[in-house]
C-alpha cells in the first residue's frame, strides 16, 4: 500500500514536470507543494494509521501476472498507435497567465471563478479520507466512560 503512494508521488511529480515543460511554472510549483507535498504526506499518514502489520497478503498467481502484463502492453500499444497516427493541431499563439490572474480566478465568486468547485473538492477529499479510516479500522468507536441511566 505504501509503495502505491510512492508511485502516486512520482506521477504527481511527472505532472509537475509537464507543467514546467509547457511553461506554467506557477502551476508546477503548486502541483509540487500542494499535491506532491501535502496530499501525499496526508495519504502516507492515513496508510500508516490504518496499516495492519499482522495482515497476510495474498500472492498473485503467475497466470494473473502474465494476463496483467499482456493487458498493459495492449493498452500501451493502443495509446502509442493513437498518438502516432493522429495529427494534432498545434496552435502558435501564446497565452500569458500571471499569478494574479490565477489567484483571482481561484478566489472569485463570479462567473468564471473556481471557489465553489475548489471548496467542494476539499470537502470531498476530507470525507474520503475520514471514510477510508473508518472503514479500515473496522471497529465501533465507543467511549468507555459512557454509563447507561
Q: Measured between alpha carbons, how far is 118 from 107 in angstroms, rounded to an integer?
A: 9
pLDDT band at residue 101, thresholds of 50, 70 and 90? Answer: confident
Query: According to the model, what pLDDT value does residue 106 have?
Result: 78
pTM, rounded to two decimals:
0.46
* Residue 145: per-residue pLDDT: 58
Mean per-residue pLDDT for 15-42?
87
- Structural domain spans, the chain: 1-52
For 46-73, give one letter per residue: b (16+ CB within 10 A) or e: beeeeeeeeeeeeeeeeeeeeeeeeeee
Grid cell of 60 as nine digits: 498473485
Average the pLDDT over 70-90 and give the result.
90
On average, the pLDDT of the chain sits at: 81
Cα end-to-end span (Å), the chain: 44
Residue from 133, 120, 144 nearest 43 by CA: 133
Percent of the chain at pLDDT > 70 equals 83
Q: Which of 24-33, 44-53, 58-67 has the lowest mean pLDDT?
A: 44-53
Amino acid at each position: 500500500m505504501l509503495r502505491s503512494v510512492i508511485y502516486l508521488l512520482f506521477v504527481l511529480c511527472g505532472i509537475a514536470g509537464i507543467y514546467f515543460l509547457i511553461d506554467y511554472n506557477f502551476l508546477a510549483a503548486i502541483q509540487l507543494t500542494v499535491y506532491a507535498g501535502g496530499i501525499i504526506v496526508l495519504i502516507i499518514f492515513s496508510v500508516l494509521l490504518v496499516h495492519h502489520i499482522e495482515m497476510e497478503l495474498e500472492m498473485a498467481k503467475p497466470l494473473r501476472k502474465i494476463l496483467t502484463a499482456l493487458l498493459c502492453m495492449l493498452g500501451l500499444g493502443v495509446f502509442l498507435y493513437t498518438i502516432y497516427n493522429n495529427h494534432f493541431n498545434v496552435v502558435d499563439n501564446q497565452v500569458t497567465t500571471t499569478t494574479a490572474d490565477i489567484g483571482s480566478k481561484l478566489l472569485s465568486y463570479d462567473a468564471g471563478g473556481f471557489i465553489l468547485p475548489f471548496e467542494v473538492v476539499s470537502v470531498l477529499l476530507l470525507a474520503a479520507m475520514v471514510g477510508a479510516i473508518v472503514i479500515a479500522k473496522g471497529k465501533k468507536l465507543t467511549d468507555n466512560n459512557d454509563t447507561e441511566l
